[in-house]
Amino acid sequence: IAGLVGVAGVLAVLMVPRVLDLALRDGAIEAAKGAALVLAGAALRLSWRAAGLVVQGFFLGNMLPMTAVVGQLYIDAPLRLCNAYLLDDQARLGQWLIALAVLAALGWLAQAGWVMARREGGSALLAPDHS
């Protein structure tokens, strides 16, 4: 769970417009952002399978709506939230964030369904037949 909490924290901070602006202006912050993403990816890889479907669902149930809401805010904002990006770029980023959240949700649901169907199929094969 600690790895997933760390990933959630990193992703939440990196969606803040001020951090995006700072990363473009300061090479050290850009390097820290890159390192944080690599470490978050490693933490996610180490924590994902051990978390199980319920904890994975809880994690995604918090992260994906947050991602979609941030995307919608980027689309609906009448002013630029990030000084380094144009308003069209901001709206495009919002669309990508929403699409990414939807695709990740669908991908996880398909994977979770496959795992549960496989478990059911395996237990049906092991169950004695009383016909």
Quote the percentage of the chain above a pLDDT of 90: 62
Query: pLDDT value at position 21?
Result: 86
Question: Is the pLDDT confidence value at 127 over 60?
Answer: no
Quote the percentage of the chain above a pLDDT of 70: 92
The residues, ordered by sequence, that sit 6+ positions from 51 with a Cβ below 8 Å of its Cβ are 1, 4, 59
Give the residue-averaged pLDDT of 2-20.
91
The answer to which of 46-55, 78-87, 103-112 has the lowest mean pLDDT is 78-87
The residues, ordered by sequence, that sit 6+ positions from 116 with a Cβ below 8 Å of its Cβ are 53
Give the residue-averaged pLDDT of 18-45.
92
CA distance 128 to 111: 28
Q: Which residue has the tokens 């000084």?
A: 83
Question: Is the pLDDT confidence value at 67 over 60?
Answer: yes
Alpha-carbon separation of residue 44 from 11, 47, 87, 94 (angstroms): 12, 5, 32, 24
Query: pLDDT value at position 81?
Result: 85
Highest mean pLDDT among 23-32, 97-106, 118-127: 97-106
**DSSP secondary structure code for residue 26 in this structure:** -
